[in-house]
Amino acid sequence: MSHEKLDQLASLVCGKSIALVGNAQSLLSAHTDIDAHDIVVRMNSGFFVKNNVDTIGKRTDVLLTSGRAKAKELDLFLAEVSYVIWMSPKKRETLIDKQLRLLSFYPLDWWVELHRELGHRPSTGCMGIDLFSRMVGTGEIHLYGFDFWRTPTSYTNEVRLGPHNPNAEEAFAIRRIPIAFHH
């Protein structure tokens, strides 16, 4: 992410109420008003879970995506969402010029720092917690759909732990965001 885009995003979110929406299946039973927040941030395929609007809302102001996004998905994200942030250090070299111009990027030095702190590769959600907790200032971050792999994802019905450490990520989230804001 260029410093210009990073500063622009920080200006957008500073002092605001942010809904950081994870992809845990537990999100689908939580009847909350996610869209009432100033900024709604979603991740990866969570963008496509639109048949539960009453539960998870319909807005996406910022989308965090990883190296797993397919080209068609990425183009759709870029067409429909104002801020799309490529979180993973992986596959950045495979992006085409148009995508590079439109995307923002989670800083690689922050990824290295977070990886070192967790002892494992951070998930997109954990990187989102890191990113927005650095930018929110006097604002608030509210977590929805983060149960740290206790339930399957809202779009696959399976728990895919991957190379992540749920306990380390949950402890990180509690350190960065007051527990009262974990919905």
Three-class SS state of 161: coil
pLDDT tens-digit series, residues 103-135: 899 999 999 999 999 999 999 999 999 999 999
Average pLDDT score, the chain: 86
Tell me the CATH number at 111: 3.90.1480.10
pLDDT in tens, 171-181: 999 999 988 78
Which of 14-18, 28-32, 73-77, 113-117 has the weakest average pLDDT?
28-32
What does pTM read for this prediction?
A: 0.89
Tally of domains within the chain: 1
Q: Which of 6, 35, 3 is nearest to 21 (CA)?
A: 35
Containing structural domain, residue 62 = 3-181
Contacts (Cβ under 8 Å, ≥6 apart) of 108: 89
Question: And the tokens for 125?
Answer: 């959600």
Q: Is the pLDDT of residue 7 over 90?
A: no
Cβ atoms of residues 24 and 147 within 8 Å: yes
